[in-house]
Structure 1
């Protein structure tokens, strides 16, 4: 299929950055909830701007069937592979916001597991007509194939570190607050029998949120200006996830999440 015509498509969504939903995100992450008018913690915006798709428009994997904004991809599995964010100002709780999304790039390639379709979507989020943050999301669609665990690189020495136990309840609650129906995160039979994983898969965005949270707690006076992250391998729930980081140069930090199988997600933060 020729996917080139999908590049440049746009979509606009609005949200109120509801204090009620912010409270649920806070409970999911065991964090204090900011009140209306206060800054929204970094990456919590992923719970907003979600479309309430009718049940009959949901695919077998739990994702909405594509074909309006994102292209129709048939039976391919969807993965959020990584992204890049630039933070201009913190979003404020309870203040109406607008997100304008554009498909920037779309390209099909051949990988080790078969055909891969790479889609990069740019989001620009505004409050009171002011650009608060921009984000590029890298989405990959792959042909169905059994999951194969490959040992990753060990985590490097860290200046700061934390450990998080991510259990099925946390996965379910994060799916709920982000309105993410992807069954690999909560449906044991589907994820093991259909997609071939050994257990429930931790959301890449949840991992990124926990990694960046660890950085902000280690560097409480730092003002984060950008964050880029990339998934290396899936994290299966009921594992202890080690999160760490180190400052590579002034204003630049390398951060990561790892399990006993090695690095699972890696990222870079720029800060002042």
Structure 2
């Protein structure tokens, strides 16, 4: 792996700039998927993390791999491991994206590292994304993408770590194939583990459809926004710990000490196992879509 890793590390420092129109229709699709009654219109600021629906990696059908992702290479290094997932992000919000505006995203590969996990070889790619419009910076994000070996055995249910039990706010989510399909469509995410049950089970070893990590993160930040609509979010980070599936409800939690701007967030499956670990920092009032 050393020679391969050295080659993959030649991608460090590569940059890519993209422009995107913040489409009213896509914003409306996201609002519908996340169950808001308000219809975002031109000039409306978008809630935190909705930027993940923009700047998708669009390739022709002939360039899509067996897993539904674009084939390897190009801006991202061609990691020779078949399974890929979004492992986590750290995001700072300067200003929100505005519907109807044009935004530039500049991405840079910060690091490529190999590790040995309990499921085999892992390769982590860390990226930085800077979003800005004509008025200046909007969002700064570091993203972790992990590549894994093929599943050699059936998925074993996670037994830990156990999620915390002290919380301030809580929400139950009942995932279903329609929710997962709609979010995949909103984000132009073709990964088959989110909508193709046979593929998810037979090829990647999962017992059911997998809930998107970014969807869970968005629902966590949404829990905060609904609970304290008079405050906005300055920063957010999340880490995927265990997968969530569409076969059972899961719960979102938020814990905030009185007077604190720090909020601890997590998602747990129906067995109380921690699946997503997150944190948010609150600041000034924000525009709130109505549920």
TM-score (norm 1): 0.97
Q: Please say if 1:170 is aligned against 2:179.
A: yes
- Which of 134, 142, 151 is the matching residue for 1:136? 142
1:35-114 aligned within 5 A? 35-114=41-120
Distance 2:171 2:276 in 1: 15
Q: Give the corresponding residue for 1:213.
A: 222
Q: Give the corresponding residue for 2:13.
A: 8
| RMSD of equivalent CA atoms | 1.2
8 A Cα contact 1:168 1:238, kept in partner: no
Distance 2:230 2:79 in 1: 44
Q: Give the corresponding residue for 2:268.
A: 258
Q: Give the corresponding residue for 1:150.
A: 158
Post-superposition offset of 1:263: 1.3
Post-superposition offset of 1:241: 1.5
Select the structure that is richer in strand: 1
Q: Secondary structure at the match of 2:108?
A: strand
8 A Cα contact 1:229 1:267, kept in partner: yes
Post-superposition offset of 1:129: 4.6
Distance 2:16 2:60 in 1: 18
Q: Give the corresponding residue for 1:200.
A: 209
1:174-193 aligned within 5 A? 174-193=183-202
Q: Please say if 1:222 is aligned against 2:222.
A: no
- Count of matched residue positions in the alignment of Structure 1 and Structure 2: 272
Distance 1:167 1:155 in 2: 25
8 A Cα contact 1:253 1:268, kept in partner: yes
Distance 1:118 1:51 in 2: 19
Distance 1:122 1:141 in 2: 18
Post-superposition offset of 1:92: 0.6
Distance 1:271 1:16 in 2: 28
Distance 2:236 2:269 in 1: 21
Q: Secondary structure at the match of 1:216?
A: helix
Q: Give the corresponding residue for 1:121.
A: 127
8 A Cα contact 1:257 1:264, kept in partner: yes
Q: Give the corresponding residue for 2:287.
A: none
Distance 2:220 2:39 in 1: 19
8 A Cα contact 1:80 1:139, kept in partner: yes
Distance 1:11 1:156 in 2: 42
Distance 2:213 2:275 in 1: 9
Distance 1:75 1:30 in 2: 36
TM-score (norm 2): 0.91
